[in-house]
Structure 1
Amino acid sequence: MRLYLAVAAGGFRRYAAYGTATAAGVFTNTVFGFIVAYTYVALWDERPHLGGYDQAQALTFVWVSQSLLAAGSLIGGGFQEELQERIRTGDIAVDLYRPADLQAWWLATDLGRAGFQLLGRGLLPLLAGALAFTLALPSDPLRWLLFLLSVALGLVVGFGVRYLLALAAFWLLDGSGVNLMATVVTIFFSGMLLPLTVFPGGFGEVVRLLPWAAMLQVPLDVLLGTHAGAGGAVRALGFQAVWAAVLLGAGRLVQSAATRKVVVQGG
């Protein structure tokens, strides 16, 4: 455990070294937040309580989403490109020789990165949104604690999806295509474009059961208290935990198949 804590700390320090990039990211998230927020204002003026949210809740959804955007790597910027490149060049062999679990190593690295992005690129855009708009941020400390737990589970789910994408590089010559497709899917099905509760009928029910919902939609609903009581929040966290376990388990299976393939190719 001490090893992986050290790896996570290294991931945090690595991203903390890029102050200019962080400042640019804060500016981008804030500007994009204002654009989306005013779009939501116009939409909710026409359709009050759309998706079960009032306007203050919808605006909270916008600004908290912006605060989680970089941490969750919802539009790229995570570890998968680096891992794909190491697979392509063969440097993955060095990783496999380390006295550490490959999946746990990259999970610790990504959580360290996410921790910095949450602090470095998350707080200031949320503060800007809170100063410019009326947000429905809760005052209950327990709600914030449940939200942070939900965010952590969402980060693990996101890692699980991106780890599978990275491992696809064992069979693909180039991972850029699958990364682009994954980004489009994540934007649409995580709730980043619109809350998933806006989607109607059976389609909406299906997308709210997919793993991408666990990355953003579920943490936002936990924060906004849209689940019925503490039991609803626990069910939401359980939903995330199940997807995290499924995806990490799938990553184990794919990793096992991929490394067996590497051994065969290497003779």
Structure 2
Amino acid sequence: MAGSAGLYLAIARGSFRRYSTYRAATVAGAFTNTVFGFILAAGFLALWRTRPHLGGYDTGQAVTYIWVSQALLVAVAAWGGGFQDDLQERFRNGDIAIDLQRPVDFLGWWLAGDLGRAGFQLLTRGAVPLTVGVLACHARLPHSLLTWPVFLLSVLLSLLVSFGLRFLISISSFWLLDSEGLRALMVVVSMFMSGMLLPLTLFPQGLRQLAQALPWAALIQAPCDVFLERGSRVPGELGAQLLWAVVLFAAGRAAQALAVRKVVVQGG
């Protein structure tokens, strides 16, 4: 058991180091997230000045929401990517057959690597825009120190939900051979249903209830509300995140078990 844990930790460390080598891309990405943070914060300020407390957020909370969402955007892979790019390439060249023969859990291997990637992105493309938002736009930090561990738990759950969604999309390649169409569809859904563009509380009632019931709300909306210390909403959102993480991992396990009964490799 300890050996298995050490293996997955080594995979996560290796993924962290791998992404840390792309220094120019990291700097450019952090700069881009920060620029978009300023643009979106300006738009939110204009909107909230005309309609204070829109969606249950005051102006300071609305601005903070933008900077927290920008900090999480890449780590939770709200636009997809991460391990999906590597896994799709392995489907294309047939190396997926080798992956299935490794003496290590297939899902666990990719999860460990994705958590290593996400950890690096949080420390770089996450910390930079949030720090700029606090210093330049008066984004609010949590009032209670106890909020920080709860926020980190919520972020971890959002990473697990994100992985579960992307794993299901990726594993569809066992049947489709190419999951690019589903990935594109997921990006569109994620943009609107995760709270990436607007807090879900701003949606019309029916659409808001639907969005809050779907797993994408766990990616951005839930951790942002935890960071903003939105009291009564926090336990329910944490519970929903945990529920979706369990459901998606169970679905991923089931899909993997079904898929490997008959593996079709492109080109042979």
* Structure-2-length-normalised TM-score: 0.94
**Offset, 1:266:** 11
Q: How many residues align?
A: 264
Query: Contact (CA 8 Å) 2:94, 2:266: kept in 1 or not?
Result: no
The 2-side partners of 1:50 and 1:185 are apart by 23
Query: Contact (CA 8 Å) 2:158, 2:220: kept in 1 or not?
Result: yes
**Offset, 1:134:** 2.1
What does the per-residue CA deviation read over 1:138-163, in whole Å, with 9 as the maximum and x for residues that have no partner?
13111011001000000000000000
Q: 1:241 — aligned with what?
A: 242
The answer to whether the aligner puts 1:68 opposite 2:69 as a matched pair is: no
The 1-side partners of 2:218 and 2:41 are apart by 22
**Offset, 1:265:** 10
Query: Contact (CA 8 Å) 1:88, 1:170: kept in 2 or not?
Result: no
* Structure-1-length-normalised TM-score: 0.95
* Mapping of residues 52-91 of structure 1, within 5 Å: 52-91=56-95
What does the per-residue CA deviation read over 1:4-34, in whole Å, with 9 as the maximum and x for residues that have no partner?
1111111111101110010010111011111
The 2-side partners of 1:227 and 1:140 are apart by 12
Q: 1:185 — aligned with what?
A: 189
Give the share of equivalent positions with the same residue, in percent.
58
Q: 1:213 — aligned with what?
A: 217
The answer to whether the aligner puts 1:11 opposite 2:12 as a matched pair is: no
Q: Structure 1: which amino acid aligns with 2:256? A: Q
Q: Structure 1: which amino acid aligns with 2:235? A: V
Change (3 A) 1:51 1:173: same
Q: Structure 2: which amino acid aligns with 1:251? A: G
What does the per-residue CA deviation read over 1:33-79, in whole Å, with 9 as the maximum and x for residues that have no partner?
11111010111111111110001101111001111111011123311
Query: Contact (CA 8 Å) 2:194, 2:220: kept in 1 or not?
Result: yes
Instruction: Extract unaligned runs of 5+ from structure 1.
Output: none
The answer to whether the aligner puts 1:144 opposite 2:133 as a matched pair is: no
Which of these residues, 195, 200, 203, is aligned with residue 199 of structure 2? 195
The 2-side partners of 1:26 and 1:264 are apart by 38
The 2-side partners of 1:166 and 1:264 are apart by 14
**Offset, 1:238:** 1.7
The 1-side partners of 2:117 and 2:266 are apart by 33
Q: 1:135 — aligned with what?
A: 139
Q: Which moved more, 1:193-202 or 1:169-178?
A: 169-178
* Mapping of residues 140-179 of structure 1, within 5 Å: 140-179=144-183
Query: Contact (CA 8 Å) 1:81, 1:166: kept in 2 or not?
Result: no
What does the per-residue CA deviation read over 1:161-191, in whole Å, with 9 as the maximum and x for residues that have no partner?
0000101111224322221111111111000
The 2-side partners of 1:204 and 1:116 are apart by 32
Instruction: Extract unaligned runs of 5+ from structure 2.
Output: none
